[in-house]
Amino acid sequence: MIQPNDSFEEIESAVVRFAGDSGDGMQTVGERFTDSSAFAGNDIATLPDFPAEIRAPAGTLAGVSGFQLQFGSREILTPGDVPDALVVMNPAALKANIEDLPEGGMLVVNVDSFKKINLAKAGYDTNPLEDEEFRKKYHLIELDLTGLTKEALAETSLKPSDKARCKNFFALGFMYFVYGRPLEPTLKFFDDKWAKRLPELAEANSLALKAGYNLGDTLETARNRYQVSKVAAQPGVYRKISGNEALVYGLVVASKKANRDLLYSGYPITPASPVLEGLSQLKKYGVKSVQAEDEIAAMGVALGASFAGALSVCATSGPGMCLKSEFIGLASITELPLIICNVQRGGPSTGLPTKTEQSDLLQALFSRHGDCPLPVLAAHSPSDCFDCGMEAVRIALTYMTPVILLSDLYLANGSEPWRIPNVVDLPGIENSFANEDEEYVIYRRDPETLARTQAIPGQVGLEHRIGGLEKGEDGGVSYDPENHEEMTRLRADKIAGISKSFDPIEIRGESEGDLLVIGWGGTYGAISSAVGNLRDEGFSVSSVHLRYVNPLPDELGDVMSRFKKVIVPELNLGQLAMILRAKYLIDVISYGKVQGKPFKVSELREKFLEHVN
């Protein structure tokens, strides 16, 4: 192991961003830096940011792919507003990212890509690295990454072009030196990934990584080194987890807890495809996965499986939700349990398919025709997708209803450390199955939950028909006007009553005061950080983050009324704000943003400050 010979400056947290061409391996080095920081015991949050095109023309702005992470010895809730250090592999990456780097920030540049042709592709008339003012503005570190990597790999058998492709790991090694990161997790990664199949590649990448690290040791300009100590975390076993991974695990654990085989049915769509891929690998756990011919079919397969007794799950994104709407209505009127996950992205239409947004809330609440309320949950962090997956299953099976679970691209692709729960300690989930020894009345309801019971094909003597036509309690088709109203109200009351099973609202801060911030979904980290900072400065600001968007928690109106002002920041044009205004007749302030990017802590702080005193 390389011994550092410099003294470190102790810092509480740092934000590092890697940016390069889509093919430069920026997501890979970002993930490795994250693993290494987790291994070092830091808290972390990540923000992968990549274009919709798999390989946009090389060297262009459209092809820039980035990965930002924040790591710290304190609680880290967001990937950071602005980077402390920016690594750019080409002029386009510089151009796309430099505005975010504060003056004095560390800028590591792969100088050999700053040739005329690449500068032109990025829209630079002159080389910014030759501009004296630019050079003075940042802590600039110019590295000929291609040349240095080739040199480091001179003895290996790789082709010259393949050698150059290892330069991302050279850059990573250099950044490991700057931030005193351990190399072991990355070396282990090379070993796991390539040692058997392509041992020469594993060796080359290891050499590049170490050479990058060693360069830091000898380079005068890299004398500033930073140390970020371990975060004081609750004892336990931890791992790094992304929102989509957590969702997959939550659903599988819930299926075992409910003793009901999981059937997943999906159609590939960004950013939900990893849920399909993840569950397809879990056949060992009894998971059946179907890649359907389209989004509608995915929902139909899930509904059919639910009728036959499976725990059925679909995951999609906004455009897929549009296509599923008619089937969701059928699931509602037939009162079958089903989980529909919407990993939201920028819309409408194809919109911003690889950027985050929270603009499908009203769609989740209202996309069906008819009066058709459904439970809607929203996860607030990558690891919370696990809990929400389990909670969605609990609600679906207890109340015999489809449940919409909202995640978003930011949570789906972002990662954080997760304290792994003990599976045996997690609560069991009850089913509402019918009993063969009793008369089966399809829509007879549990007086407490208003849920019907479910008879599964194969159960003797419980043969029955369900379908999209309105039914009477006995399951017969009924066009009776009063019956329709009664059934519509019963279905609505059932959903409204789910709130009785919720834990009390958690208020961050005092339970009364000047300003209450209400958020939902992936904005949790930014809102909590901004509110926390303002409270530390003595402002009377509290926050509530909603897991349940429908039904809303019973006491939410009371909580809101105890504050002078209520503000709702969300990554849409005010969808939750509209619901709260309509439901509580409170003049909530809406703060919306739709740029495909998460909130910055600083912009929220500024906005909240406008409304206190």
Partner 1 sequence: MSTTITEGTALNKKDFATPNDVRWCPGCGDYAILNAVQRTLPELGIPREKFVVVSGIGCSSRFPYYMNTYGFHTIHGRAPTVATGVKVSNPDLSVWMITGDGDGLSIGANHLLHLLRRNLDINVLLFNNRIYGLTKGQYSPTSEVGKKTKSTPLGSVDHPINPLLFALGSEATFVARTSDTDMKHMVETFKAAQSHKGTSFVEVFQNCVIFNDKTFGPVTSRDSKDDQVLVLEEGQPLVFGANKDKGIRLNGLEPEVVTIGDGVTEKDLLIHQPKSANSAYANLLAQMSYPSFPTPMGVMRQLDGRETYEDALCQQVSLAQSKGDGNLQELLTGRNSWVVED
Residue 434 lies near partner 1 (rule: CB under 8 A): no
Q: At what angle do helices 295-307 and 318-334 cross, to 10 degrees?
A: 30
Q: The tokens of 345 are what?
A: 């992205």
Calpha distance 92→197 (Å, rounded): 34
Considering the rule CB under 8 A, would residue 441 count as an interface residue with partner 1?
A: no
Instruction: State which of residues 200, 293, 430, 537 lies at the interface with partner 1 (CB under 8 A).
Output: 293
Give the nearest distance from C-beta 416 to partner 1 in angstroms: 14
Q: What is the 3-class SS of 318-374, one letter each residue?
A: HHHHHHHHHHHHHHHHHCCCEEEEEEECECCCCCECCCCCCCCHHHHHHCCCCCCCC
Stretch that binds partner 1, among 369-377, 444-452, 465-473, 537-545 (CB under 8 A): 465-473
**Binding test (CB under 8 A) with partner 1, winner from 220, 284, 481, 503:** 284
Contact by Cβ (8 Å): 46, 30 = yes
- Which two three-digit tokens encode residue 453? 């019971």
464 vs 564, beta carbon nearer partner 1: 464
Q: Which of 22, 205, 312, 342: binder of partner 1 (CB under 8 A)?
A: 312
Least distance (Å) from partner 1 to the CB of residue 464?
7
**Shorter beta-carbon distance to partner 1: residue 223 or 419:** 419
Is 52 near partner 1 (CB under 8 A)?
no
Lookup: tokens for 120: 């032109």
Q: How far is the CB of 6 from partner 1 (least distance, A)?
A: 26
User: CA distances (Å), 257 to each of 250, 430, 555, in order?
Assistant: 10, 8, 30
- Of 138, 170, 174, 307, the one binding partner 1 by CB under 8 A: 307
Task: Specify whether the CB–CB gap between 95 and 58 falls below 8 A.
Answer: no
The residue (of 114 and 249) whose beta carbon lies closer to partner 1 is 249
**Shortest Cβ 417–partner 1 spacing (Å):** 9
Indicate the residue among 57 and 467 with the shorter CB distance to partner 1.
467
CB-nearer residue toward partner 1: 440 or 539:
440
Report 315-334 residues binding partner 1 (CB under 8 A). Answer: 326-327, 330, 334
List the Cα angle 337/254/276 in 5-degree steps: 80
Q: Is residue 17 within 8 Å of 83, Cβ to Cβ?
A: yes
- Min dist. Cβ of residue 251 to partner 1 (A): 12
Q: Give the SS3 label for residue 192.
A: helix
> Of 211 and 279, which CB lies nearer to partner 1 in the complex structure?
279
**CA max distance for the chain:** 86
Among 467, 506, 587, 606, binds partner 1 (CB under 8 A): 467
* Number of residues located near partner 1, criterion CB under 8 A: 72
Residues of this chain, 367-406, that bind partner 1 according to CB under 8 A = none
Q: Is 117 near partner 1 (CB under 8 A)?
A: no
User: Toward partner 1, which CB reaches closer, 95 or 471?
Assistant: 471
Question: How many Å apart are CA 123 and CA 55, to the nearest integer?
Answer: 19
Q: Which is nearer to partner 1, 238 or 584 (CB)?
A: 238
Q: In which residue are the tokens 């998460």 written?
A: 598
Q: What is the closest distance, in whole angstroms, from the C-beta atom of residue 308 to partner 1 in the complex?
A: 4
Among 423, 448, 506, 537, binds partner 1 (CB under 8 A): 423
Given CA atoms 107, 111, 116, 121 in this order, what sign does their dihedral have? negative
CA-to-CA distance for 336 and 306, rounded, in angstroms? 7
- Give the nearer residue to partner 1 in terms of CB position, either 62 or 233: 233
Nearer to partner 1, 239 or 583 (CB): 239
Q: Is residue 297 involved in binding partner 1 (CB under 8 A)?
A: yes
3-state secondary structure of 421: coil
- Binders of partner 1 in range 175-214 (CB under 8 A): 185, 192
Whether the bond into 353 is cis, omega within 30 of 0: no
Return the number of other C-beta atoms located less than 10 Å from residue 544's C-beta. Answer: 23
Pick from 509, 576, 532: which is nearest to 77 by CA?
532
In angstroms, give the least distance from the CB of 445 to partner 1. Answer: 21
**Nearest CA-CA partner of 418 in 70, 38, 48, 40:** 38
- Listed ranges 104-112, 294-302, 367-375, 572-580: which one lies at the site for partner 1 (CB under 8 A): 294-302
- One residue of 29, 299, 364, 409 binding partner 1 per CB under 8 A: 299
Of the chain, the end-to-end C-alpha distance in Å amounts to 55
Please, which residue, 320 or 596, has the CB nearer to partner 1? 320
- Minimum distance from CB of 220 to partner 1 (Å)? 35
Q: Which of 325, 314, 313, 409 is nearest to 362 (CA)?
A: 325
Binder of partner 1 out of 15, 38, 209, 343 (CB under 8 A): 38
**Contacts of 36 by beta carbon, 8 Å cutoff, 6+ apart:** 176, 181, 182, 183, 185, 186
Judged by CB under 8 A, does residue 538 bind partner 1?
no
Site string for partner 1, 232-271 (x = CB under 8 A): -xxxxxxxx--------x--xx--x----x-x-x------
Interacting residue with partner 1 among 462, 546, 552, 556 (CB under 8 A): 462
Rounded to a whole number of angstroms, the minimum distance from the CB of residue 467 to partner 1 is 3
Among 132, 463, 503, 536, binds partner 1 (CB under 8 A): 463
Of 262, 503, 493, 325, the residue nearest 399 (C-alpha): 493
Handedness of CA 485, 491, 495, 498 (dihedral sign): positive
111 near partner 1 (CB under 8 A): no
Integer Cα distance of 242 and 383 in angstroms: 7
Considering only the stretches 6-14, 50-58, 421-429, 547-555, report the one whose residues sit in contact with partner 1 under the rule CB under 8 A: 421-429
Instruction: Decide whether 304 or 532 has the Cβ nearer to partner 1.
Output: 304
